Structure 1
Amino acid sequence: MSEKQKDLLGLDRLEYLQALVTEFQVSESSEAKEQVLANLANFAYDPKNYGYLRQLKVLDLFLDMLTEDNETLVEFALGGLCNLCLDKINKDYIVEADGVSAVVNCLSSSNEETVLSAITTLMYLTTPQSRQQITALPVIECMLRFSVSTSKRLQNLATIFLEDYCTAPQTEKDNRTYSHHLDWPAKFVLPSSQLQVGCQLMCKNLFLFSFGPFAVQYCSPVILPRLQSSLWGLQLQVLVMAASEQDVFPTWIGFHS
């Protein structure tokens, strides 16, 4: 144990957290900053520390780190916010500080842990006041992509978000809008085999007969209304669009129940 660590152990909780914040501010080492921020994020687990962390402006520190180029700092800062926003006072502070926008921007991170924390944080930050911003079309589009991700954790969390935090009318409206201007980033591209299998299974289960390159063109009159307003319908469109853009699916495919 280093002398610095021994000295810190002799401090009370507030003094210890203050020492960590000071160390973060004065350190010029990226590795040292990452370690300190990870420690602060861990302290955010304990509700006993909420008041101290607010007093030391740690919430602002976490929010500031979300725009850093260092992905590790972003990951730890978002993890800390995810822990803190379980508290109503912290939640209100983050929302009022425009933290929702900062967290939404993290959905485009290439770090899966960061994306998972971002989705969870958005769930925790959802209030009657913030719901409209959190369930805006760009966010739902991200969740739709994640819901057909090869990562099971992303799939499950995105599906929970779509089913529990988005209303049926809202999802139906976003489905219609989404089908006209999907932008499929390269980072969300799925393997061809998974696209084909996914589309085939969903088509068979939903009794689809044929679809074109960017949207479902024809399906059973009985199934169509349910498809348009269902999460499966949204996920199917994502799969079809991705398959078409990757040129792994013909423009007309027939299935029979």
Structure 2
Amino acid sequence: MTTQFDLDTRELAESYDRLSDAQFCFGKLLVDRLEIQTGQRVLDVGCGTGRLAEYVAQAVGPSGEVLGIDPLPFRIEIARKRARPGLSFEIGGSDDLGRFADRSWDVVCLNSVFHWIERKAEALREIHRILQPGGRLGIGTGDKDQPNPFHAIIKEAIASVMGQVPEGAQISPFLLSAEEVRELVLKAGFSALRVESTLHSDFVDRVDDLLDFFQASSFGNFLALVPEERQPAVTVRIREELEKLRTAHGIERRFQRLLVIGERKE
């Protein structure tokens, strides 16, 4: 499966900004592990609507600089509303890192984006190039060995309607295990300071908010490989299965996330 960036809309970008609290909270944990310092230059790759970059800007202070890049214009449009001196946003992605000079950043972070990157090894080599010696890489992503339980519900719903799951029909097409991510980071020249699996858990009251989040966080790729005429039936099945998970507190989102911190030694 090739990730499609042209499926995003202004409405999906606005939904993501509204519904991405879980990813934002996980991103703050990643920032904490990176130990970002006042005055540093930080590049946020796959910044989305800029919530985490805005948070990082508080950590680096007025003497630092934060740049968020994302390949989705509608998300950058929202992010730019958060811009201020020392915090800026540009359209771009992991394939566009050649625009940056060698050793030009202190920290590069990728929160909830690494599983969307197809050419991971190439991206990591470029990140190593643009980091200062002693600079840090931070990755927050899912874990292939401990998949999000909602993914199984979605695949089963597709199979029940279509008889099979179309090849490549998955929310996170390039998801890796903790060991696979660690190996890639090491091969790119980093020393691995931390590879940590953390449990995320929260509750969502409305099933429609979950469905909207699936669509918004995948920038339209959710169910993209399901024929349009079949999508309503698949959505009904997903909604039914999600409702079965409802508790007195709402529908629990419970899944493992990987935090990976690497350092460029020289």
Greater share of helix: 1
TM-score with structure 1 setting the length:
0.27
Greater share of strand: 2
TM-score with structure 2 setting the length:
0.26
Higher relative contact order (CA 8 A, sep 6+): 2
